[in-house]
């Protein structure tokens, strides 16, 4: 059977819904299955974030140079900063058969789906608005003004949710991580993702019927 290439998956969701936390746990539990793309951004690092681990932190000039050189699979502006997905890592990991996860906002997600229609799109929400606000404020990484801007942006992002394939309600973390893992494992069993296998068995059956 031909080696399957990996599945490209996009995870989006409101700021503070818990995307980062879910992805971190998924990678801890299943490091062999998944590769998490590291984006480039012009936003400043939060305390504890490291260049090359959470993001590649870049100046606006450096980011615009990456755009010009066509080094990004997609990019978007989000609350006054650029964010983008470097191409090379994603392409290398997919070719190795890893499922690659992009944790990106909705404009980028839609661009990826247009370029790569087989992409699986997951949308993460908290159980309700109150929890979202509490998580975002509780994370204590943004000023009240930026929290406000991110909550307003969440309202806009909601309008695009119909383009997504799966809704992930992040209430209890471990259950949520298992849900994401089983969705992605089930994706591998879809018929259109197994053409090599199907063609091989078809050929074997045809040979049998011819008496070979
Ligand atoms: P995002 O990446 O979507 O902006 P984070 O992963 O940073 O969100 O999560 C926002 C805050 O909510 C963090 O402080 C995180 O620890 C907390 N959090 C995430 N998931 C859960 C959960 N299932 N239960 C309780 N708190 C959570
Ligand atoms: P944060 O500043 O909270 O890390 O991220 C802000 C938003 O930018 C989140 O919705 C996150 O998913 C999104 N984001 C992160 N990296 C990328 C990227 O490479 N491209 C796009 N389009 N969005 C991204």
Residue of minimum CA distance from atom 23 in ligand 1? 173
**Taking the CB of residue 113, how many other CB atoms lie within 10 A of it?**
19
Per residue in 181-200, pLDDT tens?
999 999 999 999 999 999 99
Task: Work out the pLDDT band at 157, boundaries 50, 70, 90.
Answer: confident
| CA of 134, nearest ligand number | 1
Q: How far is the CA of 77 from the centre of ligand 2 (A)?
A: 9
Sign of the dihedral through C-alpha 29, 34, 35, 38: negative
* Residue 2: predicted pLDDT: 46
Q: Mean pLDDT of all residues in the chain?
A: 94
The side-by-side arrangement of strands in the sheet containing 55-57 is 55-57, 39-41, 81-86, 72-78
Polymer length in residues for the chain: 212
Residue 58 or 159, more confident:
58
Per residue in 74-96, pLDDT tens?
999 998 999 999 999 999 999 98
Taking 60 as the threshold, does the pLDDT of residue 1 lie above it? Answer: no
- pTM across the whole model: 0.92
Tell which atom from ligand 1 comes closest to the C-alpha of 138.
14
Residue of minimum CA distance from atom 15 in ligand 2? 104
Nearest-angstrom CA–CA distance, 139 and 210: 66
| CA of 11, nearest ligand number | 2
């Amino acid at each position: 059977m031909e080696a399957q290439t990996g599945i490209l998956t996009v995870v989006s969701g409101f700021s503070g819904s818990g995307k980062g936390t879910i992805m971190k746990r998924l990678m801890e539990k299943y490091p062999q299955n998944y590769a998490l793309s590291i984006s480039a951004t012009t936003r400043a690092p939060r305390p504890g974030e490291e260049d090359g681990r959470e993001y590649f932190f870049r100046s606006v000039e450096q980011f615009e140079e990456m755009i010009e050189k066509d080094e990004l699979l997609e990019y978007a502006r989000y609350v006054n900063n650029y964010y983008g997905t470097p191409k090379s890592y994603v392409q290398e990991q997919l070719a190795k058969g890893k499922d690659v996860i992009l944790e990106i906002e909705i404009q980028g997600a839609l661009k990826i789906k247009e370029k790569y229609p087989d992409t699986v799109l997951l949308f993460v929400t908290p159980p309700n608005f109150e929890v979202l606000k509490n998580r975002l404020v509780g994370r204590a990484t943004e000023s009240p003004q930026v929290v406000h801007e991110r909550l307003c942006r969440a309202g806009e992002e909601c309008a695009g949710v119909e383009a997504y394939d799966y809704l992930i309600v992040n209430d209890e973390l471990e259950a949520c991580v298992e849900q994401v893992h089983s969705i992605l494992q089930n994706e591998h069993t879809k018929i259109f993702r197994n053409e090599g296998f199907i063609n091989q068995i078809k050929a074997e059956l045809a040979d049998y019927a011819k008496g070979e």
